[in-house]
Amino acid sequence: MKLMLICGAGMSSSLLANKVNDAIQRRNLDIEAWAIATTELEANLGKMDVVLLAPQVRFMLTKFKERLAGVPIEVIDFQVYGSMNGEKIVDHGIKLYEAILKK
């Protein structure tokens, strides 16, 4: 699974991506996770299976859903994001990915 995190400037989601990758390694999962800024979306089209948006850019959800038609995208819970809980982010991404597989 390829999990892309998006935030405004990419700074906070880069920190979160580190936590997510730590969780992935601890659990020995076959997941690739990275973070981008909202301005980097075009350069990353077609590279992801699942997208999680930082709460501070939730207002862009509709725009991203239109641009990423067919790619599951949801907003990360603000408490999970604020606590930098990599485990819960991984679980959220897996849940979205499994929904694709069930279709």
pLDDT digits (tens, 9 = 90+) for 45-86: 999 999 999 999 999 999 999 999 889 999 999 999 999 999
β-pair type (32-37, 73-75): unpaired
Residue 11 has pLDDT above 70, yes or no: no
Distance between CA atoms of residues 30 and 53, nearest Å: 21
pLDDT category, 102, cuts 50, 70, 90?
confident
* CATH, residue 53: 3.40.50.2300
Find the mean pLDDT for residues 84-90: 95
Active-site residue set: 7
Give the count of domains, the chain. 1
pLDDT in tens, 29-47: 999 999 999 999 999 999 9
Q: What residues make up the domain containing 96?
A: 2-101
Q: Please tell me the pTM assigned to this model.
A: 0.92
